[in-house]
Structure 1
Amino acid sequence: MISINKTTLAMVFGAGLFAQVNSVSAAAYDWNNVVPVKTPSASNNNGKTVYFDVSHGGVEGNADWVIDGAFSDFADALVQQGYTVKEYRGIDLNNDGAIRFYDDRTGNGAQNEAIITYDAIKGSDVFVLAETNRPFTMSEQAALEQYIAAGKGIFFVADHYDADRNLNTWDATEVFNGYNRSDLSKYNLGGEYGDWRNPKSANAGWLVENFGIRFRFNGVDYKQGVSGVEPSAQTEGITQGVQPILMAAGATLAVVDAQKAKGLVYFSESDNPVKWKHAKDQGLYFGGKAEGPYVAIAKSGAGKAAFIGDSSPIEDASPKYRRQDSGSTKRTYPGWTDAGNAATLAVNIIDWLATPESYQYFDNQNGHNSGFVTPSPMAAQEMSDPNNGQPWGTPASGFNPWDTDTYKNNSFNAPFGDTSTNPDPDPDPTPTPGGTISVTDALATAQGQPVVVIGKVTAAVNGIYGLQLNDLTAQASHIFVKLESAQRADFNPQLNPAILNQNIIVTGMRNRYMGDAGIRYVSDIKIAPTALSVEQALASSTGEAIEVTGRIKSALNGIYALVLEDSNNANFTINIKLESNQRNDFSPQLNPELLNATLTVKGVRDSYMSQPGVRQVSQLSVSGGSTNEPAPGSDSSVAEVLAMSNGEPVTVVGVITRAVNGKYALELRDDNNTQDTVYIKLESSQRNRYSPQLNSNVIGKRLRVEGIKNNYMSHAGVRNVSRLTLLN
């Protein structure tokens, strides 16, 4: 449970935005209340701040345009340039410590806190609007106009027409333009919004009236890279060093007023863009420069704006949130590391937007060249809606896009993020690796795959934001680890020098970080035990002195040896040759109660019985075992657990009866009462050993479980299991 108070929020996001927040502690909507902020080092701080908006979309469907999600590479690059980067969510109007979204047009407008006001955003120098999927009220449009008039900059990031990610019949091209593509009467919204019907004129609409440009309603594909990059002398220097930019289903723009707006990147004569396969009409109207710029800028009085018709070349493949409708994992395009990335362009744009300049227009004075008016700024196809005012899909059963209480766990604005609070709608949707791997093996793992990696901390990376992990044996092999905010104090060498040269185990997703091989989306970091796992011991060199820990699987060669298996993956085993003075105490043939006990062995890596082994054993220590019984009164029965409240720690003993939810859980019943059952949710490292689906031998055996009482699959359960012990 996170307790958010006025002081904390003011420090995180500025006193003006949360000035009236009082101390709260509520069960729902607490899980994600700490607003992400990324800060540069004191020596590199340029004094400027960039807000990334999520108050009007940007996280619906597969979109995840947050600074610690699919825009994290962009945000990190800005931090390297000295910017402070913050996520903007809205205003906590009712002082409950959470910013809630309600649709203004469904009777809950007075409660909607996902709003934009000038006072709330004026502390920033640049405001990034990424795939905004909800229309602005007239007061919000006025706030953005006031922001520009104050000499600030806005970056409008759109996508192809009909990228209606929240299924409300609006996409970013329409929201930014200030009107829907349809002219149906229902889009004359009235009230706080006014008339949003298609004006069927390139000169009408909020965007063109303020910035001299509009987004087209097209859908174009050209992953080879849009190559008509205008020379930097024409583009205020923004295109310096910019290469062709990929378009993975995007839109272009139409310049209407060449003194207000001008293009930076166009289709060249040699480019061969095509209709995006899911486009609602021809998708590509004119081709070439006549299609309008893919990237553009505008000068509107004291302020500035920039525009791009696709988020793909800016985003990265590290989404933070789950889908709001299904709870499934999002998939985002790895554009930031793609050959057609917009990394240089995006940073150059922010630098230009963040720099106040006194000239008012592109009027060919003092090097501020005017733009090129798009010949047909509104094609005939753009004057009507091929969807006839319908959303691009149907919401999933039970999901209401306007009611955050229906959002699935771990999605943005969902009530809960800790899956122990609510039943997990999609347990472990991605494969879990079988065991801990070396840095060298991680480097050979495909990007996007989950990994659990052991290595030595050797350096800080990107200031406080990451670390370098080197292989324990092949020291030349290294990988960068991007740390989440809660992990930096303990594991970043700049903040905690004591972590240098420590061995740690990192659980996360294989990806790139800081332009190098990396691990991102880190869910767990812990100090590695001194002892190697069996899997790691198998990779050590013959003749090397090692310490290895595993589970006793069986006796070997009578009383003379034993087989040790990896605690996380029974496929890895190693033979341990016992010295004569060790056999009476440690031979499983003489001591069958040792089976399944955890054993730590010090010796020399060798072979035994023609298999990988450890000889010259100098020390053995054991914990647990197949017949270890609890102290009297220390365990609870299943019936007793059923009477406990959720959230209580428990140690329960019962009989394994069947698998639950495939490999992810098991059912435990009382020894003498088949009616009392509880579900045990297995952690990934426990499934090979204890899942009845993967190991049918456990059915009928007594099991001790240590964890937290909580429901699973709408049934009484135990979750967050820290220890499992077979008792027979």
Structure 2
Amino acid sequence: MKGKMILMLGLLASVSWQAQLKVLFDATKAESAGNADWVIDADVHNLNFNATGVTTSGSESNPQRFPTPAQNTITATTPETYWQGALSNWGIDLVKQGYIVETLPYNGSITYGNSSNIQDLSNYKVFVIDEPNIKFTDSEKTALLNFVANGGGLFIISDHNQSDRNNDGWDSPNIWNDFFTNNGVVANPFGVSFDLNSVSPSTSNFAPISMNPAILAGPQGTPTQMKYSSGATMTLNKNSNPSVQGLVFTSSASNTGSTNVMFATATYGNGRICALGDSSVPDDGTGDPNDTLYNGYSSDANGNHRPLLVNAVIWLAGSGSSNLNVQNVIKEKNAEVYPNPVTDYIYIKNNTFSTYRLMDETGKTLSSESLQENSSINVKNLPAGIYYLLLQSDKEVKSIKVMKK
């Protein structure tokens, strides 16, 4: 009972600390058509998606804005079956990390800067679009670009070619490529394009951790495997976006190259994107009873998809450059953190961030308090290892990797 109470207190502290960091999952682009069910929770299944529109006479998931039961009832031991959706495991894991999750329902609007839209993207830190099956309109493309440019994190998920689930002539890799090349703002803004193929590789061919330690060795662990179950690879173009980099590759590719990429990241303006070529990776195998689903999230690749996807959202919720460098004194926009490595106390000189959270590699919160101009964190009793210090203000979060000797 005591252990459970400690876990609950830790979860509540996490939720309080990151209360304004909201993650939105899209459901406006027929993400539950056919055998897809890329939603975190749906209480009814009365939709039908077809080439001419959406009706309410079918049997597909019709997710509501807020998942039920309410996310403030989730504890550290809540199972993913608490919600019904093929992305429920991912969503519940994010709540356990302190994020608020919502769905943009099928009749919602993708906008940025529209104060009359209660779910305008300016109200969210991360937007997840898992296998869209309806083309983005011109205004939606502009909204997505503005969202990222102004500090948002966009998680782009595709599937293999010829995966047109609602039979409207467009599948997800073509829809994403159309957004990249025909947005009316900038050609190939993220330096990513999806290959029109269908491949099913299993790989341990990851980029060096130094390429992006926040994702490759982040709070939820160090992922080392990935499995596609019919997905599309990517080709990267650093001339279009010099920041783009592959983090996972097929086994035959270079782990620092630009082809045969399975997972990629880039920055754009003040924001970030992650790109993944297979919707099977976040699929947890549960959801709409009318669909055929299987567990790729925690079973495939020996469970390595789970830390990769959660670490990725944590990284997307930050802002700025893609690398977190470990050094003796880390300067983060009017804040200094030192020493690093550390033996007894972490010292923080700061006039920007209001709170901190110290986590171990599993994502467990060890301490979370408000910050003064000069603050210190006692780590004497912590075992040697890697920890993560998250600094937060009203507008941003910075993640710093700290080594305890």
Identify the TM-score tier after normalising by the shorter chain: 0.5 to 0.7
Are 1:55 and 2:28 an aligned pair? yes
Classify 1:339/1:140 alpha carbon distance in 2 versus 1 (closer, same or farther; 3 Å). Answer: closer
Are 1:252 and 2:220 an aligned pair? no
Q: How far does residue 218 in structure 1 lie from its aligned partner after superposition?
A: 0.9
Q: How far does residue 57 in structure 1 lie from its aligned partner after superposition?
A: 1.9
- Show the counterpart of 2:199: 220
Are 1:356 and 2:319 an aligned pair? yes
Q: Percent identity?
A: 31
| RCO higher in structure (CA 8 A, sep ≥6) | 2
Classify 1:226/1:85 alpha carbon distance in 2 versus 1 (closer, same or farther; 3 Å). Answer: same
Q: How far does residue 236 in structure 1 lie from its aligned partner after superposition?
A: 4.3
- Show the counterpart of 1:309: 277
Total equivalences in the alignment: 255
- Paired AA for residue 211 in structure 1: F
> Alpha-carbon deviations, 1:542-598, whole Å to 9, x = none?
xxxxxxxxxxxxxxxxxxxxxxxxxxxxxxxxxxxxxxxxxxxxxxxxxxxxxxxxx
Query: 1:267 touches 1:289 (CA, 8 Å); kept in 2?
Result: no
Are 1:64 and 2:27 an aligned pair? no
Output the CA distance in 1 between the equivalents of 2:259 and 2:277.
12
Are 1:333 and 2:294 an aligned pair? yes
Query: 2:205 touches 2:255 (CA, 8 Å); kept in 1?
Result: no
- Paired AA for residue 53 in structure 1: D
Match 2:306 to one of 337, 343, 355 = 343
- Show the counterpart of 2:150: 150
Q: How far does residue 176 in structure 1 lie from its aligned partner after superposition?
A: 1.2
Are 1:233 and 2:210 an aligned pair? yes
Classify 1:256/1:208 alpha carbon distance in 2 versus 1 (closer, same or farther; 3 Å). Answer: farther
Q: How far does residue 141 in structure 1 lie from its aligned partner after superposition?
A: 0.5
The structure 1 segments of at least 4 consecutive aligned residues displaced by more than 3 Å after TM superposition are 203-208, 286-291, 364-367
- Show the counterpart of 2:123: 123
- Paired AA for residue 152 in structure 1: G
Match 1:210 to one of 175, 189, 196 = 189
Matches within 5 A, 1:274-313: 291-313=259-281
Output the CA distance in 2 between the equivalents of 1:171 and 1:288.
28
Q: How far does residue 366 in structure 1 lie from its aligned partner after superposition?
A: 6.8
Structure 2 unaligned spans of 5+: 1-9, 42-84, 115-119, 327-405
- Paired AA for residue 264 in structure 2: A
Q: How far does residue 42 in structure 1 lie from its aligned partner after superposition?
A: 3.5
Output the CA distance in 2 between the equivalents of 1:57 and 1:157.
14
Output the CA distance in 2 between the equivalents of 1:70 and 1:365.
32
Matches within 5 A, 1:360-379: none
Output the CA distance in 1 between the equivalents of 2:181 and 2:152.
24
Q: How far does residue 239 in structure 1 lie from its aligned partner after superposition?
A: 1.2
> Alpha-carbon deviations, 1:592-640, whole Å to 9, x = none?
xxxxxxxxxxxxxxxxxxxxxxxxxxxxxxxxxxxxxxxxxxxxxxxxx
Match 2:14 to one of 15, 38, 44 = 44
> Alpha-carbon deviations, 1:56-76, whole Å to 9, x = none?
121000000111200000011
Are 1:133 and 2:133 an aligned pair? yes
- Secondary structure in structure 2 of the residue aligned to 1:311: coil
Query: 1:313 touches 1:338 (CA, 8 Å); kept in 2?
Result: no
Are 1:87 and 2:66 an aligned pair? no
- Show the counterpart of 1:35: none
Query: 2:247 touches 2:264 (CA, 8 Å); kept in 1?
Result: yes
Q: How far does residue 268 in structure 1 lie from its aligned partner after superposition?
A: 2.4
- Show the counterpart of 1:653: none
Query: 2:249 touches 2:255 (CA, 8 Å); kept in 1?
Result: no
Output the CA distance in 2 between the equivalents of 1:287 and 1:249.
21
- Paired AA for residue 330 in structure 1: D
- Show the counterpart of 2:91: 75
- Secondary structure in structure 1 of the residue aligned to 2:278: coil
Match 2:245 to one of 255, 262, 269 = 262
> Alpha-carbon deviations, 1:130-158, whole Å to 9, x = none?
00011111111111111112201000011
Output the CA distance in 1 between the equivalents of 2:11 and 2:210.
33
Q: How far does residue 211 in structure 1 lie from its aligned partner after superposition?
A: 0.7
> Alpha-carbon deviations, 1:227-264, whole Å to 9, x = none?
21112201243112112101100011111126131100
Output the CA distance in 2 between the equivalents of 1:304 and 1:261.
10
Output the CA distance in 2 between the equivalents of 1:157 and 1:355.
19
Matches within 5 A, 1:500-519: none
Q: How far does residue 304 in structure 1 lie from its aligned partner after superposition?
A: 0.5
- Show the counterpart of 2:66: none
Output the CA distance in 2 between the equivalents of 1:41 and 1:287.
36
Q: How far does residue 288 in structure 1 lie from its aligned partner after superposition?
A: 11
Q: How far does residue 289 in structure 1 lie from its aligned partner after superposition?
A: 5.7
Q: How far does residue 338 in structure 1 lie from its aligned partner after superposition?
A: 1.4
Q: How far does residue 301 in structure 1 lie from its aligned partner after superposition?
A: 1.2
Classify 1:50/1:365 alpha carbon distance in 2 versus 1 (closer, same or farther; 3 Å). Answer: closer
TM-score (norm 1): 0.33
TM-score (norm 2): 0.59
Matches within 5 A, 1:637-656: none
Output the CA distance in 2 between the equivalents of 1:336 and 1:134.
24
- Secondary structure in structure 2 of the residue aligned to 1:77: helix
- Paired AA for residue 306 in structure 2: A
Moved more, 169-178 or 346-355: 169-178
Classify 1:353/1:128 alpha carbon distance in 2 versus 1 (closer, same or farther; 3 Å). Answer: same
* CA RMSD across the alignment: 2.7
- Paired AA for residue 235 in structure 2: A
Output the CA distance in 1 between the equivalents of 2:104 and 2:149.
20
Q: How far does residue 221 in structure 1 lie from its aligned partner after superposition?
A: 1.3
Query: 2:150 touches 2:269 (CA, 8 Å); kept in 1?
Result: no
Output the CA distance in 1 between the equivalents of 2:250 and 2:29.
30
> Alpha-carbon deviations, 1:60-105, whole Å to 9, x = none?
0000011120000001111111111111126xxxxxxxx3xxxxxx
- Secondary structure in structure 2 of the residue aligned to 1:248: coil
- Show the counterpart of 2:162: 162
Q: How far does residue 162 in structure 1 lie from its aligned partner after superposition?
A: 1.3
- Show the counterpart of 2:174: 174
Output the CA distance in 2 between the equivalents of 1:252 and 1:51.
25
Query: 2:132 touches 2:172 (CA, 8 Å); kept in 1?
Result: yes
- Show the counterpart of 2:397: none
- Secondary structure in structure 1 of the residue aligned to 2:155: strand
Output the CA distance in 1 between the equivalents of 2:255 and 2:294.
25
- Paired AA for residue 188 in structure 2: E
Q: How far does residue 365 in structure 1 lie from its aligned partner after superposition?
A: 11
- Show the counterpart of 1:188: none
- Secondary structure in structure 2 of the residue aligned to 1:178: helix
Query: 1:213 touches 1:253 (CA, 8 Å); kept in 2?
Result: yes
Classify 1:56/1:236 alpha carbon distance in 2 versus 1 (closer, same or farther; 3 Å). Answer: same
